[in-house]
């Protein structure tokens, strides 16, 4: 009986150590990228990306009801972030999207935060002319040391890319619609 108990304890500790050491083999950062050609001027695409009020119509992690979105304003009354009730594979929760930096008219850096998840960050790259624009969307996560987030980071192309692709398709529809200003 004592021998079986020792064997079970040994196997349990061995399995735990195996999981811990396997964590070191998984990437600490995950990334997914996708792009799409939009038949609209680059200025329209950039405008839609930099104005938070367009996001409820296409942003993939947001419930599509505009009433679920709160726009946080800075001291000058300018919108500085968007708080929304989102949908993720992990469930529903509050998300915060914030444009962090805009370089020229073609690079838009952003941050995306969901409750109980590591922060996402990324960039929109816009390149085009008056007739068509290519939009690339990069999303990254710093997974830290938790094994489950490292696994998520290693599987981002399977878990997150479908939502990213769907978001780009919806964004294309928004930009190409006839009543775009």
* Average pLDDT, rounded, for the chain: 87
Q: Does residue 88 carry a pLDDT above 60?
A: no
- The pTM of this model reads 0.81
Indicate the Cα dihedral angle 123, 128, 131, 134, nearest 10°.
Answer: -50
131 φ, ψ (degrees, to nearest 5): -115, -35
C-alpha R_g of the chain: 21
Q: Does residue 141 carry a pLDDT above 60?
A: yes
Q: What is the pLDDT of residue 34?
A: 96
Q: Please check whether residue 33 is in contact with residue 134, taking contact to mean a CB–CB distance below 8 angstroms.
A: no
Tell me the pLDDT tens digit for each residue of 108-140: 999 999 888 899 999 999 999 999 999 999 999
């Amino acid at each position: 009986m004592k021998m079986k108990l020792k064997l079970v304890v040994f196997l349990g500790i061995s399995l735990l150590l195996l999981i811990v050491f396997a964590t070191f083999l998984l990437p600490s950062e995950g990334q997914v990228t996708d792009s799409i050609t939009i038949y609209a001027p680059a200025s329209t695409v950039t405008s839609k990306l930099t104005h938070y009020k367009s996001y409820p119509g296409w942003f993939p992690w947001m419930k599509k009801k505009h009433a679920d979105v709160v726009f946080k304003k800075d001291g000058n009354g300018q919108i500085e972030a968007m708080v929304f009730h989102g949908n993720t594979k992990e469930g529903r929760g509050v998300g915060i999207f914030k444009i962090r930096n805009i370089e020229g008219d073609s690079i838009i850096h952003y941050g995306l935060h969901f409750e109980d998840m590591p922060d996402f960050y990324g960039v929109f790259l816009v390149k085009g002319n008056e007739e068509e624009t290519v939009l690339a969307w990069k999303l990254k996560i710093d997974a830290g040391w938790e094994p489950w987030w490292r696994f998520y980071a290693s599987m981002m192309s399977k878990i997150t890319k479908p939502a990213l692709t769907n978001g780009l398709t919806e964004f294309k529809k928004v930009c190409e619609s006839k009543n775009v200003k």
